[in-house]
Structure 1
């Protein structure tokens, strides 16, 4: 009888710990960690650097080349021209709507 109670208690304890782990994975605020944010930024930077390399030597004369500024990858454009850019989707909570 005592072994059955211990076994049941361990089962309940196991399920509670599993549920708490699952709950920790599902955060109500949908917050990402600092390391996850850095990973997303580095991934965007690599994609931009690939764009820069693919256009190397192909930028039209008098145009500014594609450039990474630490958050956004700015496209090739004529100097002095205003380039509208949307808030990047890889920066968590950048657009507070």
Structure 2
């Protein structure tokens, strides 16, 4: 039996985003390379600072979000995405101790 596992970097939004006639109900985050983190402090990302997350999410999201999309996210959805983003910065051995949103 081939059961497809859920992608841990995908969030089903509690409140889908509406962009024109497009409805975004699921967002997958891609682990960033260092260039996608330019202009933000890593500590701010680890602390899930909203301004830092707003800059980085459009660079690592599929479908690609705009900064305005990020500002329109439900806080619960933003928290889930921020938790995944912060988790990308941790070394493998530290991830077991990091709380997930």
Q: Could you say whether these structures have the same fold, taking a TM-score greater than 0.5 normalized by the shorter chain as the test?
A: no
Q: Answer 1 or 2: which has greater helix percent.
A: 1
- Structure with more contact order per residue of length (Cα contacts < 8 Å, sep ≥ 6): 2
Structure ID, larger Rg: 1
**What is the TM-score when the length of structure 2 is the normalising length?**
0.24
Q: Greater share of strand residues, 1 or 2?
A: 2
Per the normalisation by structure 1, the TM-score is 0.24
